[in-house]
């Protein structure tokens, strides 16, 4: 048994005959599976969705890690793919990027909606394909993404995803070829559609309109909002049965999901029979979206810290659930689940953290600790299986995973605190998480490492260069070293949001802050050995960010190693997973 002997799952969908299709990398890369068998597609499949007649499976495919997604329909009987959009340098999306919500087909399957950036690489237009060809129904000036046709097929719901915490909804009337803005709110707000109501009179959605936390509501076509659940935590997604008689939704409680359901107009009830874990994320990121089967069961993708992510079918009436998959059959049975602890940052902000204790650690034998920083930055440290975390624990190294300002799951205000302040208050939050370890009896706070990927890689470099007295070792995967060049090299469809999200290099005040908050500017202060990992095909963070930091550290005579992964994008591929885990864990065991 090894900690990489498992399969990741990235989403699923239920067909009209209740067949479940899912995406997993059990064969070596993310591929669709139907009836328990893989259907090979050239490239990594990021999304799958059944056509309403069940005869085809829509697949969104990344051919080389560069994230210029292609769109095709797969015949599950023969495995043949008909490519619908496969133009070099063009990116397609169905629903929100990296998500798994939204229905791309009309009810009768005659129309397919998608977005692409073929006309202008910096925006997404919305297109509809039918028997008569493909037409543009909304020309974008930002990221516009189709989220689903109304059941009567007259209206198409479109999401404007300006920022991860600033959305607007539009409705395209396909009969009159007109578009109107559906939501108008004074200030940033989130609007995350779940489903159209069966009578096409509105939608079920999660929104922060007038609130800090996401709540569950119905939005009528006239703009009236009816709240269904407004807890002091985020409701991040849900599902509506085809006949509208049942609703299921999930509340985020420090990364775990409290699953609820109700009959139409009835009182909420707990979904029982499932282990506690992560079942719902915003827009179904990572595949965590709920779906009802035709027979009324609830399909759940459930992640846990001490087990592989699996698919379950929950019988709501019986209060039971059955597991459909066994992706973690090869994992050891002594994995460690985290506990939630809370640090207090320099300005009084409470910073929730997941803390993992290695089995060998005690007050008499304290363990070194690695702080692992999640990416995004607008994501969250979830209690989900991570082979790096579990390998560190197996080697006697503890782990703390902070949810610093900017993380999702703690309300809109908390999430937006990082805007135009990357490497500011968030760095203070990371320092606070480290300070918390002084009161953990089994932790040796004098032997600390820091690790992260994407934004987490930037954070790891920030910690090593700007908090050098705290850390003995650092690992950055695909991390930014210079915010000025990172803004310049951002993916085309991100460029219209970068000034508000990160900063404006042409503004003197912003420019000074961006330089001051960049790890490259502080490279001379680094004390800890630094390991830099980066995919050569990465289009989110230019590999030059790692190469530039490497060259600077080498010039200064600092201990550093750089490893570039050929043929890999922003995410580690399955073939390199075991080696990457060994590299990261080996780096920390050698230096801590």
d(CA 226, CA 229): 10
H helical segments located in 437-555: 455-466, 483-488, 498-501, 508-516, 544-555
- Amino acid 576: pLDDT: 85
Q: Measure the CA dihedral 28/33/38/40, to 10°.
A: -80
CA atoms within 13 A on the CB side of 458: 25
Rg, the chain, Cα only: 23
8: left (phi over 0), alpha (psi -120 to 50) or beta: beta
Nearest to 336 by CA among 432, 400, 431: 400
d(CA 400, CA 456): 13
d(CA 249, CA 466): 41
- Give the tokens for residue 553: 């550290």
Nearest to 58 by CA among 9, 99, 7, 109: 109
- Give the tokens for residue 262: 């109700």
Strands (E), 15-69: 20-24, 31-34, 37-38, 44-50, 57-62
- Amino acid 105: pLDDT: 98
Contact status, residue 304 vs residue 327, Cβ threshold 8 Å: no
Q: Could you give the maximum distance between any two Cα atoms of the chain, in Å?
A: 74
Contact status, residue 277 vs residue 230, Cβ threshold 8 Å: no
d(CA 390, CA 401): 13
Residues 99-125 have pLDDT tens digits of 999 999 999 999 999 999 999 999 999
- Give the tokens for residue 237: 């997604």
d(CA 118, CA 92): 9
Nearest to 449 by CA among 344, 584, 306: 584
Nearest to 517 by CA among 432, 455, 436, 563: 455
Classify residue 544 by burial, with Cβ atoms within 10 Å: 0-12, 13-18, 19+.
middle
Q: Kindly list the distances between the CA atom of residue 574 and the CA atoms of 24, 245, 334, 531, in Å, as whole numbers in the listed order.
A: 11, 41, 23, 20
Phi and psi at 447, nearest 5°, equal -125, 85
- Give the tokens for residue 333: 């049975």
Query: How are strands ordered across the β-sheet holding 133-138?
Result: 92-93, 112-116, 125-130, 133-138
d(CA 471, CA 431): 11
Compute how many other C-beta atoms are within 10 angstroms of the C-beta atom of residue 119.
Answer: 13
- Amino acid 537: pLDDT: 92
Residues 161-218 have pLDDT tens digits of 999 999 999 999 999 999 999 999 988 999 999 999 999 999 999 999 999 999 999 9
pTM: 0.96
- Amino acid 511: pLDDT: 96
Nearest to 356 by CA among 344, 374, 372, 379: 372
- Amino acid 1: pLDDT: 60
- Amino acid 572: pLDDT: 75
- Amino acid 279: pLDDT: 98
Residues β-bridged to residue 237: 250
Helices 455-466 and 425-436: angle between axes, nearest 10 degrees: 70
* Residues contacting residue 12 through CB under 8 Å, at least 6 positions apart: 20, 21, 22, 23, 48, 100, 287, 291, 299, 301, 311
Contact status, residue 334 vs residue 357, Cβ threshold 8 Å: no
d(CA 503, CA 507): 8
- Length of the chain equals 592
291: left (phi over 0), alpha (psi -120 to 50) or beta: beta
- Give the tokens for residue 63: 């051919």
Nearest to 389 by CA among 375, 399, 374: 399
Compute how many other C-beta atoms are within 10 angstroms of the C-beta atom of residue 461.
Answer: 31
Phi and psi at 204, nearest 5°, equal -90, 135
Helix (H, G, I), strand (E, B) or coil at 302: strand
Give the position of tokens 């060809």.
133
Q: Which residues of the chain have pLDDT under 70?
A: 1
């Amino acid at each position: 048994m090894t900690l990489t002997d498992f399969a990741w799952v990235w989403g699923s969908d239920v067909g009209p005959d209740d067949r479940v299709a899912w995406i997993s990398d059990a064969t070596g890369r993310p591929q669709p599976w139907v009836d328990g068998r893989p259907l090979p597609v050239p490239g990594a499949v990021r999304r799958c969705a059944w056509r309403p007649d069940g005869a085809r499976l829509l697949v969104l495919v990344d051919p080389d890690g560069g994230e210029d997604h292609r769109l095709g329909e797969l015949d599950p009987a023969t495995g043949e793919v008909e490519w619908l959009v496969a133009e070099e340098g063009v990116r397609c999306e169905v629903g929100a990027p990296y998500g798994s919500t939204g229905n791309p087909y009309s009810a009768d399957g005659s129309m397919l909606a998608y977005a692409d950036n073929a006309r202008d690489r910096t925006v997404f237009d919305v297109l509809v394909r039918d028997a008569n060809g493909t037409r543009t129904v909304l020309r974008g000036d930002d990221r516009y993404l189709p989220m689903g046709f109304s059941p009567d097929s007259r209206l198409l719901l479109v999401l404007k995803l300006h920022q991860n915490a600033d959305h607007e909804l539009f409705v395209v009337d396909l009969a009159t070829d007109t578009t109107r803005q559906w939501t108008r709110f004074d200030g940033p707000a989130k609007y995350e559609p779940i489903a159209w109501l069966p009578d096409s009179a509105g939608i079920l959605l999660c929104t922060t309109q007038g609130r800090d936390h996401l709540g569950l509501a119905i939005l009528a076509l006239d703009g009236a909002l009816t709240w269904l659940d407004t807890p002091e935590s985020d409701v991040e997604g849900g599902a509506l049965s085809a006949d509208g008689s049942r609703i299921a939704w999930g509340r985020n409680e420090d990364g775990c999901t409290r699953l609820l359901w109700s009959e139409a107009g009835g009182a909420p009830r707990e979904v029982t029979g499932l282990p506690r874990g992560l079942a719902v994320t915003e827009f179904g990121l990572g595949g965590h979206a709920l779906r009802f089967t035709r027979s009324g069961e609830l399909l759940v993708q459930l992640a846990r810290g001490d087990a592989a992510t699996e698919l379950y079918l929950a019988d709501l009436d019986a209060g039971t659930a059955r597991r459909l998959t066994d992706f973690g059959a090869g994992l050891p049975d002594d994995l460690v689940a985290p506990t939630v602890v809370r640090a207090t940052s320099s300005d009084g902000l409470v910073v929730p953290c997941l803390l993992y204790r290695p089995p060998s650690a005690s007050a008499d034998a304290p363990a070194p600790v690695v702080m692992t920083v999640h990416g995004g930055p607008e994501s969250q440290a979830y209690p989900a299986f991570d082979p790096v975390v579990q390998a560190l624990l197996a080697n006697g190294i503890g782990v703390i995973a902070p949810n610093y300002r900017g993380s999702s799951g703690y309300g809109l205000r908390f999430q937006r605190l990082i805007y135009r302040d990357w490497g500011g208050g968030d760095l203070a939050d990371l320092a606070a998480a480290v300070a918390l370890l002084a009161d953990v009896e089994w932790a040796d706070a004098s032997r600390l490492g820091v690790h992260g990927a994407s934004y987490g890689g930037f954070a790891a470099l920030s910690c090593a260069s700007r908090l050098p007295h705290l850390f003995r070792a650092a690992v950055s995967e695909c991390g930014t070293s210079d915010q000025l060049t990172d803004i310049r090299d951002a993916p085309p469809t991100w460029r219209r949001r970068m000034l508000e999200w990160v900063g404006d290099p042409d503004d003197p005040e912003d420019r000074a802050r961006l330089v001051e908050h960049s790890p490259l500017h502080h490279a001379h202060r680094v004390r800890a050995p630094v390991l830099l990992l980066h995919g050569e095909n990465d289009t989110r963070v230019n590999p030059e960010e790692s190469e530039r930091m490497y060259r600077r550290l080498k010039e200064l005579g600092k201990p550093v190693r750089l490893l570039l992964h050929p043929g890999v994008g922003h995410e580690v591929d399955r073939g390199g997973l075991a080696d990457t885990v060994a590299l990261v864990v080996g780096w920390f065991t050698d230096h801590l």
